[in-house]
Amino acid sequence: MIKLRILCLVFLLACHPLNSSAQQIQQWQTTNGVPVLFLETHDLPIVDIRIGFRAGSSRDGQQPGISQLLNGLLIEGSGKLSAQQIALQFEQVGAQLHNYSGLDIARLSLRSLSESSKLDSVIELFSHVIALPAFPQVALDRDRSAMMVSLAERENRIGSLLSRAFMKNLYAGHPYRNSSIVNESSLRLIKREDLIQFHSTYYVAANASLAIVGDLNLGQAKYYAEQLVRHLAEGKAAETLPVPELTEGKTIKIAFDTPQTQLRIGMPVIHRHDTDYYALILGNHILGGNGSNSRLMQKIRGEQGLSYSVYSSLTPLEIAGPFELGLQTSNHQVEAALESLDKLLQVFIEKGPTRAELDMAKKNISGGFALRFDSNRKLLNQLSVMGNYNLPLDYLDQYVQRIQEVTVEDIRQVFQKRIRPEQMIRVLVGPDS
């Protein structure tokens, strides 16, 4: 048990709606080894639960799309229950079920009233959905067709073309590339037997983490956690992903009839346990991650009028998530906008931020930190990230303090060491000319 000291800071107490009984994260493992993080709150008679598996698209192997297809099919039948019966049973007690599949993690989230007469049946049903899916062939055929239609529609959207080309080239030869190469052919090859095999490999206790937030006491939370995962096989944890190979700088141009060219450049950089995590986060916030207050927006849009939108971002993942910069500009301004973006990035790498920029960024991040905890769902997000990536239990306690410790020189040194413009992948989508 660790008290969330961040909630005891004056400015956080003013923003956080939870009562004093809710200021502890509880941690334990279920009988079959699933790690659990629990935060008790009693503001509403609601419980939010999320179970995550290291079963995202990075585990697709030679079958791109299987993780996403499977995750959607979990709610399409279990045992003798059809998708309609499952949906009806959740609806009858006012429960909500959501699923999502990303690069690292595939997850299912449940929101239910905390009254035991309702929660008991919901948890029992949820336990079957995650562990004992039926994968009916009719549902497989329907969901596969829907994914194909969605893929075809994305080919006509500039943002989708840009994202797929960027990830495909940024992670060439790496499992993170899988999500960008899903196509009709790869989906057609996936059989029901493949789904069963993928599920039995990755949807297991050793590959799972559970987060619970809401109107339960510790004893109730432990009971429901056991009930929820009791049908999961123990299994084996997924292997650690390989480190991506160093990218070699290149430019990919995609012809698209549009009045505004879009650009994305970047390279693999940051992981969840990165020793440079806080310096990278602060540096990105200053450079292009803080909306209209960022340096890129102030210079390229505000002063130069070269872009409708410009940003930088960091996506921490299990292994080397992307650092990227992007902009959108009129076709006749592409060359000038790119030149300005390159120059501003290079200056930031060489000199780092100003002290005034750093102070403002620290104030902005620290002051807005409480907003990450102003609802049960947001608390659930934080706990599930901690569980999914095995972050230390004092991660939230230490976050603001670690941000405050970063110096201008820390950011400058980290960006010089980690950010290499000559190795960046560039993708432009716009007219041939």
Q: What is the pLDDT of residues 383-418, one digit of tens each?
A: 999 999 999 999 998 999 999 999 999 999 999 999
What was the pLDDT predicted at 433?
Answer: 59
What average pLDDT does this structure show over 72-80?
Answer: 91
Whether 255 and 221 share a structural domain: no
Q: What is the mean pLDDT of residues 47-65?
A: 98
Determine the 3-state secondary structure of 92 from DSSP. Answer: helix
Residue 296 domain flag: yes
Buried b / exposed e along 54-87 (16+ C-beta atoms within 10 A): bbbbbbbeebbbbbbbbbbbbbbbbeebbbeebe
Does 298 lie in the same domain as 390? yes
Q: Are residues 172 and 220 in the same domain?
A: yes
Q: Is residue 18 part of a domain?
A: no
Are 222 and 346 in the same domain?
no
Domain boundary among 229, 263, 278: 229
Percent of the chain with pLDDT over 90: 89
Residue 11 inside a domain? The answer is: no
Average pLDDT score over residue span 261-269? 97
Number of structural domains in the chain: 2
Residue 8 lies in a domain: no
Least confident of 76-85, 187-196, 260-269, 415-424: 76-85
* Same domain flag for 213 and 307: no
For residue 21, being part of any structural domain is answered with no
Q: Of 16-25, 172-181, 363-372, which has the strongest mean pLDDT?
A: 172-181
| C-alpha separations of 398 from 2, 3, 105, 405, 419 in Å | 11, 11, 24, 11, 26
Residue 6 has pLDDT above 60, yes or no: no
pLDDT confidence bin for 23, thresholds 50/70/90: low
Same domain, 264 and 328: yes
Question: Which residue segment(s) compose the domain that 117 sits in?
Answer: 31-229
Residue 351, domain CATH = 3.30.830.10
On the question of pLDDT at 20 being above 50, the answer is no
pLDDT at 355 over 90: yes
> What pLDDT score does 64 carry?
97
| Domain shared by 143 and 213, yes or no | yes
Tell me, yes or no, whether 378 and 254 share the same domain.
yes
User: Is 320 within 8 Å of 419 (Cβ atoms)?
Assistant: no
Structural domain includes residue 176: yes
Residue 5 in this model has a pLDDT that exceeds 60: no
Q: Dihedral, CA atoms, 384, 388, 390, 392, nearest 10 degrees?
A: -20
86 occurs within a structural domain: yes
Token pair for 4: 């969330």
Same domain, 169 and 203: yes
CA–CA distances in Å: residue 28 to residues 37, 221, 253, 271 = 7, 11, 50, 25
**Last residue within a domain, chosen from 175, 194, 229:** 229
pTM higher than 0.85, yes or no? yes
* Same-domain status, 349 and 309: yes
76 lies in some domain: yes
Exposed/middle/buried for 421, CB within 10 Å: 0-12, 13-18, 19+?
A: middle
- Is 108 in the same domain as 218? yes
pLDDT band (50, 70, 90) for residue 373:
confident
Same structural domain, 157 and 260: no
Amino acid 79: pLDDT: 86
